[in-house]
Amino acid sequence: MTVTALESLLVMEIGTSVAGSYAAKLFADYGSEVHVLGSDHTPSQTLFFDASKHVGDSDLSTQADVIIQSSGSGPLDTPLEPLRPDQIVLRITPFAGTGPYADWKSTDLVDAAIGGHLRLSGDPKREPLNGVPDLVHMAAGVTGFIGALAALMTRARTGRGQLVETSHQEVIAALHQFSLLRYTHTGSILNRMGNRYSGPGTPIGAYECADGWIGLAISQSDQMERLLEVTGLVTLLDHEEVDTIYDVMTNQELLDSHLIPYLKTQPRDDLVDLFQALRLPVAPISDIDDLLEDPHFEERDFWDETTDGVKSPGPPFRLSHHKWELGPKKRSGMFASSDEPVTHLADGPLTGLRVLDMTRVWAGPLAARVLADLGAEVLMTEVPWTRTPLEVPQSYVNSTHFFPDDHAGERPWNRTGFHNKYANNKMSTVIELDKPAGRDFFVRMLPKVDVVIENYAPRVMPNFGLDETELKQHNPDLTYVTMPGYGRTGPYKDWVAYGPTIDGHAGHTWLTGYRDDIPWKCGIAWPDPTAGLHAAAATIVALLDRQCCGITGQTVEVAQVEAAINMIGRHVVAAQVDEPPQRLGNRRPGRAPQGVYKCQGDDRWIAISVVDDDCWAALCKVTGWSDLEELDAAQRWRDHDAIDARLAAFTAQRNDFSLMMELQAAGVPAGAVFDAADVVNDPQLASTQFFVPLAHPEAGTHVWPRFAARLALTPATMRRPAATMGQHNDFAALQLAELDNDTYSALLNSGVIRTTPPA
């Protein structure tokens, strides 16, 4: 078998942060020789993070192609620079190495607070609730991996290495779905909404059944109609507060008052089978034992079982010509490089590559936009119903806050920030793919394309007549990226799958919750952005194989649920090796106290993490608790409730921002629980020019988050605002498909190629 690009790499991991460990794990599992300098992982962490690495004290940094240097709790003591002109150094820290927060300390709780995610989860009558421990750091690890891969593409094309930097704060801020755009478009602040995904549409949350829990994600009007019919709740349409189906979808109290009692009488598995048969997005909420015994993952041969019977998650993405395997590797060959001028990569490392983007909603559009930010020419090949209808009810406008000034306008499909956020940097052509002429137009573009990416259910592309075999007939060198929720095989392959249902099935919801309470839905649908990041990474891996090794025609499969399970991989392993996981709210063993505490003002809070005795001594000085200074970690954990009560009384008298500054100056990891306005106006993010203003011809000028990794030599760029619907039809038809003018005009006149949604 041909040596892949990653198999020719020597990687050095320095530091023990979760983010750095996961970035290095991805290199190691996909073929690189990875050495860890001084790991201090627990046995269960070692099983997950280090199974494919060489762990020891050998410092191979001078020989390494890539050095990963990370810190999970504060700034790097001695930041490394590339030691050779072709070496890549990846740094991952809580905050960027420059700016007002550069020296601050942090934990995953503080990261989530300052990144604006913590505010979105939990009971609105209680303190905000953190999600799965270290999930934000795992996302930073994938982002760092993408940044390093992009730098490797630069090296493959130019022979030059570079410094790559990312921070937990930037990663989390980049992974808001619509909370930031609601603020920039209308001034609306999105807050936690209970045991559900925080955003438009009801029900999108965790619901109790007679014998377990399910996750529902009803986000479309036709889905709501079917749900009302099957549950016998159609009479809600006659309610005095209801004029349209959207009024039922956005009135959580009305619907839940009838839906919750019904669901509690129904067996979980029967509900899942029935709802899925009706094409309603639903999945069971699984604990770790459920996951390990699930027949879908067994049939897909997902779990990698050690000799002592411990199951570890399998690949977060699969490539047809590139092996994923646990176990330490030895480098094979040398990484091949060309001598293309760096000036040729003015738009980023992927300059000159062309992508057809067929994705929808969040995970797929994010993956394709990351490729666009890194320089690829991304052409959205949209189906006409991807955006909004011709007319958008004002009730939808008011509930979503997606449209500038809560005004849909004459062409709402071009004004919705929900679409435009992930369409920035992209072009647009709109094709009726279910018509033969539309399909023929699409395949005529394929010879001039490097990548096709889609996130349809497995049956959709074959129904269009565009299955993998057909695509490769028109371009044998094509990289085909598919992102089905459950993969292309297995008993659930045809399930309707959304991020807010997958997070429950993948174990995230079961691991989240207030202390000794029920499973709790996170306000962010983490499987969506993490699948998007993994898909972007997988695409670049395939492109590196083509660039360096001549491996063409790869198919990449990213099953969203398998990427999501990898995000909690260390908890899956720990549940088998250590004690069963407990819901601890915002507390974490080894940190005492840690929590989220009320401050002055309406719904203002601060997250505080005491990670060691020095932090405790510093907190006691700020609070004036001289009588408690001598408490050790064990005593603090034992007395956590009493300390929490005393700390809450102290913070209630303080402003969240000023207290954050005072505690950080003293060396205590602390962060005000930012809302969207705080994130958009944050001085640290401003210092790294994280938000980029783009002027859209119909939606106006708004700021948008850039790609969260900073490449010193070939930075990612945001070059253009989101394309209006079908803005680049002529480019697609006349230049890529090489149609003549008469044929193009005929396709426009017949509606096969469009600039508006269907009636």
Q: 């899925």: which residue's tokens? A: 276
Which strand (E) or helix (H) includes residue 545?
A: helix 527-549
pLDDT band at 243 (very low <50, low <70, confident <90, very high): confident
Per DSSP, what are the bridge partners of residue 465?
none
Residue 702 confidence (pLDDT):
97
Q: Which amino acid is at 287?
A: D
As a whole number of angstroms, the distance between CA 194 and CA 178 comes to 18
Q: Which CATH superfamily is domain 344-506+546-560+718-750 in?
A: Crotonobetainyl-coa:carnitine coa-transferase; domain 1 (3.40.50.10540)
Question: In terms of pTM, does the model score above 0.85?
Answer: yes
Complete edge-to-edge strand list for the sheet that includes strand 318-319 = 318-319, 555-557, 479-482, 451-454, 354-357, 377-382, 426-430
Euclidean distance between CA atoms 166 and 633, whole angstroms: 32
Distances (CA, A) of 381 to 166, 304, 697: 31, 37, 20
Which stretch of 34-43, 72-81, 407-416 has the lowest confidence by average pLDDT? 34-43
Lowest mean pLDDT among 102-116, 303-317, 593-607, 654-668: 303-317
> Are 66 and 88 spatial neighbours (Cβ–Cβ below 8 Å)?
yes
The C-alpha atoms of residue 745 and residue 734 are separated, in whole angstroms, by 11
Comparing 344-506+546-560+718-750 with 594-675, is the CATH topology the same?
no
pLDDT higher than 90, residue 253: no
Task: Note the pLDDT tens digit of each residue in 277-326.
Answer: 999 999 999 999 999 999 999 999 999 987 788 999 999 999 999 999 99
* Domain boundaries along the sequence of the chain: 204-295, 344-506+546-560+718-750, 594-675
Q: How far is CA 340 from CA 151, 343, 525, in A?
A: 14, 8, 41
Buried b (16+ CB within 10 A) or exposed e, 174-198: bbbbbbbbbbbbbebebbbbbbbbb
Residue 269 pLDDT > 80, yes or no? Answer: yes
**Residue 758 CB burial class (10 angstroms; 0-12, 13-18, ≥19):** exposed
Instruction: State how far the alpha carbon of 458 is from the alpha carbons of 37, 294, 297, 493, 625, in Å.
Output: 42, 20, 17, 7, 60
Q: Which residue from 389, 390, 381, 470 is spatially nearest to 431, judged by alpha carbons?
A: 381
Predicted local confidence at residue 564, as pLDDT: 97
Task: With beta carbons less than 8 A apart as the criterion, state whether 106 and 168 touch.
Answer: yes
pLDDT at 201: 62
Helix axes 363-373, 527-549, angle to 10 degrees: 40
Say how many residues make up the chain: 759
- List, for residues 368-398, the tens digit of each pLDDT value: 999 999 999 999 999 998 899 899 888 889 8
The mean pLDDT value for 248-267 works out to 91
In this model, does residue 705 exceed pLDDT 70?
A: yes
Return the minimum-mean-pLDDT range out of 57-61, 480-484, 696-700.
57-61
Matching residue, tokens 């604990």: 287
Return the pLDDT at 396. 85
pLDDT in tens, 409-419: 999 999 999 99
Cα–Cα distance for residue pair 25/27, rounded to 1 Å: 5
pLDDT exceeds 90 at position 137: yes
Q: How far apart are CA 506 and CA 700, in angstroms?
A: 39
What letters, b where the CB count within 10 A reaches 16 and e where it falls short, cover 414-451? bbbbbbbbbbbbbbbbbbbbeeeebbebbbbbbeebbb
Q: What is the pLDDT of residues 153-188, one digit of tens each?
A: 999 999 999 999 999 999 999 999 999 999 999 999
297 within 8 A of 303, measured Cβ to Cβ: yes
Q: For every residue of 399-457, which 3-state class applies, written as one string?
A: HHCCCHHHCCCCCHHHHCHHHHHHHCCEEEEEECCCCHHHHHHHHHHHHHCCEEEECCC
CATH number of 594-675: 3.30.1540.10
Angle, helices 436-445 vs 741-750, to 10°: value is 140
CATH assignment of 204-295? 3.30.1540.10
Say how many CA atoms lie within 13 Å of 432 toward its Cβ.
15
Q: Mean pLDDT, the chain, as a whole number? A: 95
* 261-265, 303-307, 402-406, 456-460: range with lowest mean pLDDT: 303-307
Nearest to 174 by CA among 454, 421, 419, 500: 421
pLDDT, position 759:
81
- pLDDT category at 200 given cuts 50, 70, 90 is low
